[in-house]
Structure 1
């Protein structure tokens, strides 16, 4: 039993380190207290009616049809190296309160090979923040930015504001307009 408890304690320490980094980065951290409580109060001395399953070289679960995991309280998964999930058709994640994804190193990729990507904040604001540059590129078509009330572009204090009845621009420095042709509609 001691090797199993050692593995669980190691997983807990790993989760504590990543969760602390997530909290520093203002991401929602894992609920560590539940994991600590399970280990200390139920599994360590097998004080409660629990099932502790351990094998030093691996465990495989397989089903010809369905496999369900269910917990009335918390579902906790920790991997010392990689976690891979592969789904042949659809993958759904439904969350009642908050979804927080935190990456400690090397970034994040979200790629759709076919079909659109839709991101919505249906009843609140959406923020996009980067310490360095943000690049928006359309490789074969156009980029549209639309707002019901107003669009403001601001860089270092110089700005352009567009609203329903007015275009305003301003700068504390030099203002240049360059064009190969300058036309005017009467």
Structure 2
């Protein structure tokens, strides 16, 4: 430095003004060693191997997702990126490091992709937020845990699952348990409720009439109190209207992040 004190070994590219790194055919930044400068300038075998691992991982998940009737991940964008990054065949930027890459800032971080965005790991992926975590998709969202469970937990607030435009299906290979530890369990529907098993069923019609049918014995035990008919109203929530698809398309082309909800005709 100015006082002739040793500042370390290697090289430093620095300035108190602006800085830019520009290469019209692409940029390869690597922390993979090349002892004694052996090999080509664009030697990127370790990086290419990791990109190939990502491709194979996506290919495996395509098969797994289809086996579980889940949305298979798209691979076309990754294939294009792999071909473009190979020896910088197209103007791309490839970063590679054997022990990790860190991106830290006290401000914001933007990752914007005009094609598919792939976030993959051979180990865990952690997403944490001190405030809120929002995930939106204009088409669909698929969650798949192949070998262990899937868990949704609300520590204090309510847990709400809504389908605003279609059905809601809950299906299990084995038992389904619904419990309320300190509250009341209520099942309501506008067009009827049916409980069925073994050919027998209990059906509550939209008019409020109740049918109990069985192919065998009907057993009722306990004291019986028969009273005149009565009625209890169960108000149902009003779901919001659908978001305008044309507005979504215009916002997508304009790269806007907010679309006003509009009821479709």
TM-score, scaled to structure 2:
0.67
CA distance in 2 between counterparts of 1:147 and 1:165 reads: 11
Q: Residue 53 of structure 1: SS of its match in structure 2?
A: strand
Deviations 1:121-155 (A, max 9, x none): 11211111111111000000110000011000111
Name stretches of at least 5 consecutive residues in structure 1 with no aligned partner: none
The CA RMSD over aligned residues, in Å, is: 1.1
Deviation at 1:10, TM superposition (A): 1.0
Q: Which residue of 2 aligns with 1:53?
A: 95
Matched, 1:30 2:87: no
- Unaligned runs of 5+ residues in structure 2 are 1-43, 229-265
Residue 125 of structure 1 corresponds to 167
CA apart distance, 1:37: 2.3
2:85 touches 2:92 (CA, 8 Å); kept in 1? yes
Q: How does 1:59-70 map to 2 (within 5 A)?
A: 59-70=101-112
3-state DSSP of counterpart to 1:160: strand
State the 1:172 CA deviation: 1.4
Does the Cα contact within 8 Å between 1:158 and 1:171 map onto a contact in 2? yes
Aligned length: 184
Q: Equivalent residues in 2 for 1:1-186 (5 A)?
A: 1-39=44-82, 41-163=83-205, 164-179=207-222, 181-186=223-228
CA contact (8 A) 2:77 2:115 kept: no
State the distance in 1 between where 2:208 and 2:146 align: 46
Q: Structure 2 CA distance, aligned partners of 1:76 and 1:94?
A: 16
Deviations 1:29-48 (A, max 9, x none): 10012212221x20112110
SS at match of 2:102: coil
Equivalent position SS for 1:45: helix
TM-score, length basis structure 1: 0.95
* Mapped partners of 1:115, 1:54: distance in 2: 42
Superposed structure 1 runs of 4+ greater than 6 Å apart: none
The alignment partner of 1:5 has SS state of helix
